[in-house]
């Protein structure tokens, strides 16, 4: 079946740097793409989503970019902080169907 995957399993950055987490998806029929963050010992937490007819959406310190031509999704975190250390998952969904998650990227922020 089709699934959402990530380019890199781990990413290490310095505090204050900008982080970019990438994701490649295969289902061009998906309506929404979503980013979740999972801290150690906790369940995933919704960060931001983007509709398939958009190419950019900004939140607080985060920006999601969608490139449908190459089926690529990215999450940019500005001024990364130690509290941003977590596993980041991209997910996709089509109306009425379940979320399909990618395998995750572990972001480590050192100060």
The structure tokens listed for 43 are: 């369940």
Interaction residues for other proteins, span 19-48 (CB under 8 A): 32, 34, 41-46
The structure tokens listed for 71 are: 């089926």
Q: Within 13 Å, how many C-alpha atoms sit on residue 9's CB side?
A: 1
CA distance 111 to 99: 34
73 binds other proteins (CB under 8 A): no
Q: Which is nearer to other proteins, 42 or 70 (CB)?
A: 42
Q: Which is nearer to other proteins, 97 or 108 (CB)?
A: 97
Q: Interface with other proteins by CB under 8 A: which residues?
A: 1, 32, 34, 41-46, 49, 89, 93, 95-104
């Amino acid at each position: 079946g089709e699934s959402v995957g990530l380019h890199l399993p781990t990413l290490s950055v310095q505090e204050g740097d900008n982080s970019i987490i990438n994701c490649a998806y295969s289902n061009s029929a998906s309506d929404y793409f979503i980013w979740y963050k999972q801290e150690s010992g906790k369940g995933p937490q919704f960060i931001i989503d983007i509709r398939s007819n958009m190419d950019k959406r900004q939140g607080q310190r985060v920006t999601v970019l969608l490139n449908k031509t190459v089926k690529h999704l990215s999450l940019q975190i500005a001024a990364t902080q130690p509290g941003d250390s977590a596993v980041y998952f991209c997910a996709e969904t089509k109306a009425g169907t379940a979320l399909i998650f990618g395998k995750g990227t572990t972001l480590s922020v050192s100060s």
